[in-house]
Amino acid sequence: MEVLLFGMIAEKAGTDRLQLNAASVAELRRSMSERIPGFEQMVHVIAIDRVIVTDDRPLLGHEEVAVLPPFAGG
């Protein structure tokens, strides 16, 4: 699945899109750690279809997945 990256996480990854396979949000986080150095230490939330979810959320593969660093609007 395609994972959208933003802000400091995109900067660290060197790209704003990653292709990853994951069956759950927890698995997605593990794949992210393998691909992005220091990912575990980066504050973030995961959004599935534009809604923030927790680790136990299953992934079917066709969702819109995004990894979001802390918000800074305003």
Scanning 17-25, 26-34, 60-68 for contacts with other proteins by CB under 8 A, the matching segment is 60-68
Report which of 1, 3, 2 is spatially closest to residue 67, judged by C-alpha positions: 3
Residue 60 binds other proteins, judged by CB under 8 A: no
Residue 47 binds other proteins, judged by CB under 8 A: yes
CB-wise, 12 or 29, nearer to other proteins?
Answer: 12
Question: Which of 14, 50, 54, 61 contacts other proteins by CB under 8 A?
Answer: 50
* Spatial CB neighbours of 20, under 8 Å, sequence gap ≥ 6: 1, 3, 28, 31, 32, 35
Token pair listed for 46? 């995961």
